[in-house]
Structure 1
Amino acid sequence: MQSVTLAKSTPNYAISLESSKQNPRGLTMPSTDKVTPIRGNDLTLVDNKQAAQILQINEKTLTNWRSSGKSPKYVKVGRCIRYRLSDLTAWIEANSRNHTGEVA
Structure 2
Amino acid sequence: MTHPPHKLLTEDEAAEYLDDCGYPMQPSTLRNYRSSNRGPHYVRAGRSPRYRVADLHKWLTELPGHENTLGELEHKLGIAPT
* TM interval, short-chain normalised: 0.5 to 0.7
- Quote the Cα distance in structure 1 between the aligned partners of 2:63 and 2:9: 20
Is the strand fraction higher in 1 or 2? Answer: 1
Match of 1:49 among 6, 12, 18: 12
Question: Normalized against structure 1, the TM-score is what?
Answer: 0.52
Which of 54, 61, 70 lines up with 2:38 in the alignment?
70
User: CA shift at 1:97, angstroms?
Assistant: 1.4
Structure with higher RCO (Cα < 8 A, 6+ apart): 2
Aligned length: 59
The alignment's TM-score, normalised by the length of structure 2, stands at: 0.64
User: Structure 2: which 5+ runs fail to align?
Assistant: 19-23, 68-82
1:96, distance to aligned residue in structure 2 (A)? 4.5
Larger helix share, 1 or 2? 2
Segments of 5+ residues of structure 1 without an aligned counterpart are 1-39, 100-104
